[in-house]
């Protein structure tokens, strides 16, 4: 396995697979997570090859766009890595990252742990908060034809994995059901530092949103 060739090949593979993906889960999402992961990895004692592969392949086939099938992503990643003659221990580690990275309502118990998973998970969660996180939330809400906000529909902050997957609430509710909770779920020191600022930005946005909704500003 030649790492200098593997990463460019992985990037090309992911770009092709996600060519027509929804705007919040497309190649540019992967690229941002990849950059976030590299930034966090600089300050973390970890295997950079596994971090890079995990970041690039973590959303190769998101179950949200495959009728809830959570096996497609790991299978797709494994098939690609096997075709590149990547060693089984690395493949298994990357697959474990893909299988354990998602939020899934916040009540999902990880069946695997590693520093590399911590790095990639933080990188992915950073892309769900701050200015980018806000843009992605409303992009996906529009994709699913969800209301922006409905004061009569309260957020549900303690959903099971299945409830979270079936949730169809207004986009503003998603801030309380996931986005505002991510700051306190970060794993790494660097991830926590970056999350603090992005979290404050979301709080400012929500204050402005409600003021405009009520015609106060």
For residue 210, what are its two tokens?
């409600």
Which of 64, 49, 51, 56 lies closest to 80, judged by CA?
56
Q: Where are the alpha helices (DSSP H) in the chain?
A: 3-17, 27-42, 48-57, 72-83, 88-100, 115-126, 130-143, 161-166, 171-177, 189-213
6-39 pLDDT, tens digit per residue, is 999 999 999 999 998 878 889 999 999 999 999 9
* Average pLDDT of the segment spanning 89-104: 92
pTM for the predicted model, two decimal places: 0.90
pLDDT band at 49 (very low <50, low <70, confident <90, very high): very high
Which of 137, 133, 161 lies closest to 149, judged by CA?
137
| Cβ-based burial of 89 (10 A; exposed 0-12, middle 13-18, buried ≥19) | exposed
User: Which is higher by pLDDT, 56 or 110?
Assistant: 56
191-209 pLDDT, tens digit per residue, is 999 999 999 999 999 999 9
- Judged against a pLDDT cut of 80, whether residue 166 lies above it is answered with no
Q: Are 101 and 124 in contact (CB under 8 A)?
A: yes
In the chain, % of residues over pLDDT 70: 92
Instruction: Please say whether the dihedral angle defined by the alpha carbons of residues 37, 42, 43 and 45, taken in this order, is positive or negative.
Output: positive
| Highest mean pLDDT of the ranges 65-79, 97-111, 131-145 | 131-145
Q: What is the pLDDT of residue 68?
A: 61
Which of 106, 97, 110 lies closest to 164, judged by CA?
106
| Cβ-based burial of 202 (10 A; exposed 0-12, middle 13-18, buried ≥19) | buried
| Residues 20, 9: Cα–Cα separation, whole Å | 19
Q: What is the pLDDT of residue 164?
A: 75
- Judged against a pLDDT cut of 90, whether residue 116 lies above it is answered with yes
53-66 pLDDT, tens digit per residue, is 999 999 996 656 55
Q: What is the pLDDT of residue 107?
A: 55
- Judged against a pLDDT cut of 60, whether residue 106 lies above it is answered with no
CA distances from 141 to 6, 24, 131, 174 (A): 35, 10, 16, 9
């Amino acid at each position: 396995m030649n790492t200098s060739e593997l990463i460019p090949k992985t990037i090309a593979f992911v770009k092709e697979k996600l060519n027509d993906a929804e705007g919040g889960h497309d190649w540019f999402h992967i690229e941002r997570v990849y950059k976030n992961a590299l930034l966090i990895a600089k300050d973390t004692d970890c295997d950079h090859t596994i971090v890079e592969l995990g970041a690039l392949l973590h959303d190769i086939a998101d179950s949200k766009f495959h009728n809830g099938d959570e096996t497609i992503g790991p299978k797709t990643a494994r098939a690609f890595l096997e075709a590149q003659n990547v060693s089984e221990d690395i493949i298994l580690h990357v697959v474990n990252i893909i299988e354990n990275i998602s939020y899934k309502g916040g009540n999902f118990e990880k069946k695997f742990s590693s520093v590399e998973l911590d790095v990639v998970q933080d990188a992915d969660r950073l892309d769900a908060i701050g200015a980018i996180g806000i843009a992605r939330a409303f992009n996906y809400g529009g994709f699913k034809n969800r209301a922006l906000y409905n004061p009569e529909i309260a957020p549900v902050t303690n959903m099971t994995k299945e409830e979270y997957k079936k949730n169809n609430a207004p986009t503003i509710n998603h801030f309380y059901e996931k986005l505002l909770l991510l700051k306190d779920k970060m794993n790494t020191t660097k991830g926590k530092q970056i999350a603090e600022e992005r979290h404050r930005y979301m709080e400012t946005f929500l204050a402005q949103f409600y003021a405009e909704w009520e015609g106060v500003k």
